[in-house]
Amino acid sequence: MIARNLNGILENVGELRNDLLANGKDFKSEFKALDVKLFKLQNELEKLARSHATFMEEMTSVAFDTNLEVRGALNSIDAVWDAMAEVMPESEPVIAEKKREAQEREKRRIAAIDTKLEELADSTRKNRKKPQS
Its pTM surpasses 0.85: no
Nearest to 93 by CA among 104, 81, 102, 85: 85
CA-based R_g, the chain, Å: 36
Number of domains in the chain: 1
pLDDT per residue over 6-34, tens digit each?
Answer: 899 999 999 999 999 999 999 999 999 99
Q: Which domain holds residue 120?
A: 2-129
List pLDDT tens digits, range 34-68.
999 999 999 999 999 999 888 888 888 888 888 78
Any idea what DSSP says for residue 132? P
Tally Cβ neighbours within 10 Å of residue 81: 16
Q: Tell me: the pLDDT tens digits for 77-99?
A: 888 888 888 888 888 888 889 88
Contact by Cβ (8 Å): 67, 117: yes
Q: Round to whole Å and give the CA distance between 127 and 133.
A: 13
